[in-house]
């Protein structure tokens, strides 16, 4: 029994560390945005960070390309398996998963939570959510799907909502 308790403690420790790493990532986003905005203006800061985040998403999207252009059920399974800590960090809720559309609402987000805990104003948090959300555009669009998600705005619950539809048919 002692070994089982040690294992549980180790898992709990790793879960806390994973959440802390995501919150550190969030604070890095915020600091980077503030510095870029100070030097270049907010619009340019958002444009630069959005482009870089999209590019990172495109790298991630390669893992999902095998499901394109239209296997939304397979994509759903693979994407949910990909979310860290079996989804606990983002608490995904699949609202629709069929041949026409995949809709996943993230009920929480450690990035948004870190920004709010840091005392950032809701409007700044919404901007940072838009920037961070570009990873999803890059992921699903580069994989070969159509994507039309939304990110958190003040007054809404949860966080982003991913809306994925079949992409254009592949040539060849």
Least confident range of 9-13, 95-99, 134-138, 158-162? 9-13
- Is the distance from CB of 25 to CB of 131 less than 8 angstroms? no
Q: How confident is residue 84, by pLDDT bands cut at 50, 70 and 90?
A: confident
Q: Where are the domains of the chain?
A: 2-165
Q: What is the pLDDT of residues 106-162, one digit of tens each?
A: 999 999 999 999 999 999 999 999 999 999 999 999 999 999 999 999 999 999 999
Calculate mean pLDDT across residues 7-20: 90
| Comparison of pLDDT for 170 and 122, the residue scoring more | 122
Answer whether residue 31 shows pLDDT above 90: yes
Q: How confident is residue 88, by pLDDT bands cut at 50, 70 and 90?
A: confident
Query: Can you give the pLDDT at residue 85?
Result: 82
Instruction: Work out the mean pLDDT of the chain and round it to a whole number.
Output: 95
Query: Can you give the pLDDT at residue 86?
Result: 80
Q: What percent of the chain has pLDDT over 70?
A: 98
Calculate mean pLDDT across residues 59-77: 97
Q: Which fold has domain 2-165?
A: Muramoyl-pentapeptide Carboxypeptidase; domain 2 (3.30.1380)
Q: What is the pLDDT of residues 39-49, one digit of tens each?
A: 999 999 999 99
């Amino acid at each position: 029994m002692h070994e089982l308790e040690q294992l549980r403690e180790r898992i709990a420790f790793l879960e806390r560390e994973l959440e802390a790493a995501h919150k550190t990532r969030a604070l890095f986003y915020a600091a980077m945005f503030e510095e870029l905005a100070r030097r270049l203006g907010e619009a340019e800061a958002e444009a630069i960070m959005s482009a870089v985040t999209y590019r990172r998403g495109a790298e991630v999207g390669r893992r999902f390309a095998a499901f394109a252009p239209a296997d939304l059920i397979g994509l759903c399974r693979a994407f949910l398996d990909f979310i860290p800590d079996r989804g606990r960090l983002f608490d995904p809720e699949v609202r629709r998963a069929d041949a026409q559309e995949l809709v996943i609402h993230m009920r929480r987000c450690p990035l948004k939570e870190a920004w709010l805990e840091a005392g950032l104003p809701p409007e700044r948090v919404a901007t940072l959510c838009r920037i961070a959300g570009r990873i999803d555009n890059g992921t699903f669009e580069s994989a070969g799907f159509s994507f039309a998600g939304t990110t958190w705005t003040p007054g809404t619950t949860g966080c982003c909502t991913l809306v994925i539809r079949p992409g254009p048919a592949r040539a060849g």
